[in-house]
């Protein structure tokens, strides 16, 4: 046998060994027999690698804090939960594979994930067919809860969050009339967000003077910025991601724009501070989460996060924490009616799904509940304004009252 053939057979062997590999040791039960769990497995399928990992890692952080927090408080009436992480990567096929592994190999009772809405459109139907409840921690596109009975989300859709920023801008300056809108046309989130912004602008009777498009990979925004400024806006609304959004803000200010700027959810991160430095100042951003929200659970979550990462918890971490919390509290409810240890896995999943849609949850995001379809109903939203230090090296989000 020559080397090529040897490597080939080695590769085949690896393939077989890998695929034939059975359970990872959680619960070797089939779907029909009682689950008899020593730990209740909950799946977390988010993007831990690829270019979406920046968001996925924040979600992992939130989930891990939630696991520790709820297990310290006795888990599900004495039975601890166990989070099973499967990386989805940034693509659709990887997400489906992660979901399949969680459902059939890890035998989880429910799944928190995936990170992107596009991944949700690919993988949520898989969970729906297997009748496993899914909670989206950060899927905000239109049509997610409508995928099926078993699909719900804790992330409020953009259509609910975004208009709050426009309200806040009008509160600061009621003379605003002319609005210029900028958006990244190659980003799904930015594209749906800008539609909501444009709709809100029209509903409020403001004048939409120009709509400019850019790409998230662009660095030079002179053309768009000049066109925008020429339309003489009193308010600029930007839907993009951190790097491009930050650069666009900087170039708008450098070219002399003085008015108010609203940033979309993509700019909702401290990663833009190094990009636009002092020029980031005064950007308004609407949020689904505020670290300053006063409640027992948020204080606990915030201090746990700060202890570990030495900064304020971001929205995605809070949302993932909330998603795990919803599963835990719904499981506790189910457990009060019938012991979850005695339920067959399939029945437990079905009962959990029914239960979680009817409950009310006091999460770090504030009080949330669900519509029968699985859409989140969130009580409070927040608007933050960026305040930069004089030297532009550091800044913070100040929440407006």
Partner 1 sequence: MADFFSTYGFLLVSMLLGAMLGLSLYLPLMAGQLSLASPGFYALGGYTAAILSTKVFQMSGSLFPLPLLVVEMLVAGVVCGILGLMVGIPALRLRGIYLAIATIAFVEVLRVLSLNLEITGGAVGIFGIPQPFQTPIEYLWIVLPLLLLSAWFVYRLERIRVGRAFTAIREDELAADAMGINPTYHKVLAFTLGAILAGVVGAVSAHFLNTWNARQGTFDASIIYLTFVLIGGSRTWAGPVLGGVAFTALPEVLRAIADTSGLPLWLGQFLRDGRLIIFGLLIVAGTIFFPQGLVTPALLRRKRQPFSK
Q: Using CB under 8 A, which residues numbered 95 to 114 contact partner 1?
A: 96-97, 100-101, 103-105
Q: How many CB atoms lie within 10 A of CB 203?
A: 10
The distance of closest approach from Cβ of residue 96 to partner 1 in the complex, given in angstroms and rounded to an integer, is 5
Pairing state between β 111-112 and 40-44: parallel
Q: Rounding to the nearest 10 degrees, give the CA dihedral for residues 98, 104, 105, 108.
A: 80
The residue from 34, 69, 80, 92 that contacts partner 1 (CB under 8 A) is 92
The distance of closest approach from Cβ of residue 192 to partner 1 in the complex, given in angstroms and rounded to an integer, is 6
What does the block give as tokens for 299? Answer: 């204080």
- By beta-carbon proximity to partner 1, the closer residue of 49 and 358 is 49
Q: How many CB atoms lie within 10 A of CB 335?
A: 20
185 counts as binding partner 1 under rule CB under 8 A: yes
Nearest Cα to Cα of residue 188 among 142, 155, 154: 142
Give the span between the Cα atoms of 288 and 161, in whole angstroms. Answer: 6
Nearest Cα to Cα of residue 2 among 12, 10, 17, 14: 10
390 counts as binding partner 1 under rule CB under 8 A: no
The distance of closest approach from Cβ of residue 106 to partner 1 in the complex, given in angstroms and rounded to an integer, is 8
The residue from 11, 255, 377, 380 that contacts partner 1 (CB under 8 A) is 11
Instruction: Give me the DSSP letters along 290-326.
Output: -TT---HHHHHHHHHHHHHHSSPPPHHHHHHHHHHHH
Q: How many CA atoms lie within 13 A of 372 on its CB side?
A: 0
The distance of closest approach from Cβ of residue 169 to partner 1 in the complex, given in angstroms and rounded to an integer, is 25
Give the span between the Cα atoms of 306 and 266, in whole angstroms. Answer: 22
Q: Which stretch binds partner 1 (CB under 8 A): 33-41, 135-143, 200-208, 300-308?
A: 135-143
- By beta-carbon proximity to partner 1, the closer residue of 1 and 390 is 1
190 counts as binding partner 1 under rule CB under 8 A: yes
The distance of closest approach from Cβ of residue 223 to partner 1 in the complex, given in angstroms and rounded to an integer, is 17
The distance of closest approach from Cβ of residue 22 to partner 1 in the complex, given in angstroms and rounded to an integer, is 8
The distance of closest approach from Cβ of residue 278 to partner 1 in the complex, given in angstroms and rounded to an integer, is 32
159 counts as binding partner 1 under rule CB under 8 A: no
48 counts as binding partner 1 under rule CB under 8 A: yes
Q: Residue 42: in which H helix or E strand, if any?
A: strand 40-44
Angle between helix 315-337 and helix 345-358 axes, rounded to 10 deg: 110
> Total residues at the site for partner 1 (CB under 8 A)?
57
Collapsing DSSP to helix, strand or coil, 168 comes out as helix
Q: Which stretch binds partner 1 (CB under 8 A): 4-12, 223-231, 349-357, 369-377?
A: 4-12
The distance of closest approach from Cβ of residue 42 to partner 1 in the complex, given in angstroms and rounded to an integer, is 16
Residues that bind partner 1 (CB under 8 A): 2-5, 7-8, 11, 14-15, 17-25, 30, 48-50, 85-87, 89, 91-94, 96-97, 100-101, 103-105, 117-118, 121-123, 125-126, 129, 141-143, 147, 185-192
């Amino acid at each position: 046998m020559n080397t090529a053939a040897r490597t080939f057979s080695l590769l085949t062997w690896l393939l077989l060994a890998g695929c034939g590999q059975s359970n990872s040791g959680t619960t070797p039960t089939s779907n029909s027999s009682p689950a008899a769990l020593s730990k209740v497995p909950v799946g977390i399928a988010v993007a831990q690698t690829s270019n979406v990992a920046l968001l996925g890692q924040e979600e992992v952080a939130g989930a891990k804090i939630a696991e520790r927090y709820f297990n310290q408080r006795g888990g599900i009436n004495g039975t601890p939960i166990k989070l099973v992480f499967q990386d989805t990567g940034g693509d659709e096929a990887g997400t489906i594979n992660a979901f399949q592994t969680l459902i059939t190999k890890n035998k989880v009772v429910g799944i928190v994930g995936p990170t992107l809405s596009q991944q949700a459109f690919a993988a949520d139907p898989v969970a729906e067919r297997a009748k496993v409840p899914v909670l989206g921690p950060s899927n905000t596109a239109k049509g997610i809860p409508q995928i099926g009975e078993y699909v719900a989300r804790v992330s409020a859709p953009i259509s609910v969050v975004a208009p709050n920023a426009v309200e806040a801008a009008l509160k600061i300056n009621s003379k605003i009339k002319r609005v210029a809108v900028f958006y990244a046309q190659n980003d799904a989130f930015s594209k749906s967000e800008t539609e909501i912004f444009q709709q809100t602008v029209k509903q409020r009777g403001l004048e939409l003077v120009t709509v400019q498009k850019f790409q998230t990979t662009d660095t030079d925004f002179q053309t768009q910025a000049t066109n925008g400024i020429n339309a003489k806006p009193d308010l600029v609304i930007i839907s993009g991601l951190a790097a491009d959004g930050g650069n666009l803000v900087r170039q708008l200010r450098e070219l002399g724009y003085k008015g108010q700027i609203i940033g979309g959810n993509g700019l909702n991160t401290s990663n833009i501070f190094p990009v636009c430095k002092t020029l980031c100042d005064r950007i308004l951003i609407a949020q689904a989460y505020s670290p300053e929200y006063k409640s027992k659970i948020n204080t606990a979550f915030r201090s746990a996060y700060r202890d570990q990462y030495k900064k304020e918890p971001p929205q995605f971490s809070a949302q993932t924490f909330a998603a795990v919390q919803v599963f835990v509290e719904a499981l506790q409810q189910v457990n009060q009616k019938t012991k979850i240890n005695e339920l067959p896995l399939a029945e437990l999943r079905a009962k959990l799904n029914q239960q979680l849609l009817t409950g009310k949850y006091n999460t770090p995001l504030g009080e949330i509940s669900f519509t029968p379809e699985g859409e989140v109903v969130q009580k409070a939203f927040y608007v933050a304004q960026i305040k930069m230090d004089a030297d532009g090296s550091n800044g913070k989000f100040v929440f407006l009252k």
